[in-house]
Structure 1
Amino acid sequence: MELSKVIEKRKAVRALEPVEITDDFIHEIAYKASRAASCANKQPWRFVFVRDSKKLLELHEALSSGNYWAKEASMLIAIYSRKDFDCIVGDREYFLFGTGMATAHLMLAVVDSGLVAHAMAGFDENLAKKILDIPEDMTLITLIAVGKQSENLSRLSDKHKEVETKRSTRKEFNEFAVIL
């Protein structure tokens, strides 16, 4: 798919249905994420791809109640890093920026394949790290739900049903950018 179409297609979809997640698919999206730019090519990102049904059930316990819908995802991806994995220039730490760039690449690769990638902030970081054996000194930045978009909205709350089929509004150019 053309990049501009992939960017337009990406949306925070919550209505999911099961889909097979293969090793090849995981390797492909990880490769595309690995092509992201990073300070001095440090590549600070770390991913845990969770598709095992028992491990997914464990990880569901770390989700906030508002992310109930993510329990339908076929895979959850944990994205983490640590500040010393990347450049530190003065008091500027680049690990979140670099990892964010790789995360965007990863999400767009998932969308390009025809699936949904929905990043979440609502989870218990310490519990998720314990479940996934992520060292305590790491920062678990986000969890991403991956699945196939479903037309069936019956499992969603009324609030989520309302926003599921609409495109969220975006700020106008002059609200986030300046041309000098």
Structure 2
Amino acid sequence: MELDKAIRNRYSVRSFTSEKVDRNIILEILEAARMAPSAVNYQPWHFIVITDPDKLADIYEVYHRAWFREAPACIVVCSDHSQSWKRKTDGKDFADVDAAIAIDHLVLKATDLGIGTCWVCNFDVEMTRKKLQLPENIEPIALIPLGYTTSEAPLKSRKSFSEMVHWEKFTSL
């Protein structure tokens, strides 16, 4: 698939079949995430892959949506704040930015391979920490359920260029 096609076809899947995702496909998806750029190339991310049905049932408790329980696999994307770059001028921690770039690579590669994903951020962080036994410096950033979808891509509504693109300086609308 061409990159443009993957970008246009990617959407938040909320309906999965029960078909398992092959481990080699998951590894291809993770390789795309691993190759993502990060601030100063620190690569502060960690990917926890969950495919065991008992472990999936456990992680499904951190986000209470029926559709989420349908996914036959889930990747929990985490950032290591002790390994992330911090901007000198204001101390901004780029762990979340780096994780977001890796997630974008991950979901686009999944789309390219015919695997549906959803970028879930509204979950119980503390419960996730406990269930995955995360150390203090590791923050769960997003849950990415994966699987084959039963739904069609919806039409995407996007703002116009004039609402978001500014040339040379910020201009009000």
The answer to whether structure 1 residue 166 and structure 2 residue 154 are counterparts is yes
Normalising to structure 1: TM-score of the pair? Answer: 0.86
Q: Tell me what 1:76 maps to.
A: 74
Structure 2 residue aligned with 1:89, among 78, 87, 90? 87
The answer to whether structure 1 residue 18 and structure 2 residue 18 are counterparts is yes
* One-letter amino acid of the counterpart of residue 86, structure 1: S
The answer to whether structure 1 residue 178 and structure 2 residue 154 are counterparts is no
Q: Tell me what 1:58 maps to.
A: 58
Tell me the secondary structure at the aligned position of residue 87 of structure 1: coil
- Give the distance between the partners of 2:153 and 2:6, measured in 1 at CA: 17
Deviations 1:110-138 (A, max 9, x none): 11100101111221111112112222332
- Give the distance between the partners of 1:121 and 1:78, measured in 2 at CA: 10
Tell me the secondary structure at the aligned position of residue 77 of structure 2: strand
- Give the distance between the partners of 2:40 and 2:6, measured in 1 at CA: 28
Q: Residue 11 of structure 1 contacts residue 167 of structure 1 at CA under 8 Å; is this kept in 2?
A: no
* One-letter amino acid of the counterpart of residue 143, structure 2: L
Q: Residue 16 of structure 1 contacts residue 73 of structure 1 at CA under 8 Å; is this kept in 2?
A: yes
Q: How far apart are residue 170 of structure 1 and its match? A: 1.4
- Give the distance between the partners of 2:60 and 2:141, measured in 1 at CA: 17
Determine which structure has the larger helix proportion and give its number: 1
- Give the distance between the partners of 1:175 and 1:85, measured in 2 at CA: 36
Q: Residue 10 of structure 2 contacts residue 153 of structure 2 at CA under 8 Å; is this kept in 1?
A: no
* One-letter amino acid of the counterpart of residue 163, structure 2: E
Q: Tell me what 1:155 maps to.
A: none
Q: Residue 84 of structure 1 contacts residue 95 of structure 1 at CA under 8 Å; is this kept in 2?
A: no
Percent identity at matched positions? 30
Q: How far apart are residue 175 of structure 1 and its match? A: 2.2
Alignment of 1:95-106 (within 5 A): 95-106=95-106
The answer to whether structure 1 residue 46 and structure 2 residue 77 are counterparts is no
Structure 1 unaligned regions, length at least 5: 152-163
- Give the distance between the partners of 2:154 and 2:24, measured in 1 at CA: 32
Deviations 1:64-85 (A, max 9, x none): 3xx3211000111101113232
Q: How far apart are residue 165 of structure 1 and its match? A: 5.9
Corresponding pairs, count: 166
* One-letter amino acid of the counterpart of residue 21, structure 1: V
Structure 2 unaligned regions, length at least 5: 169-173
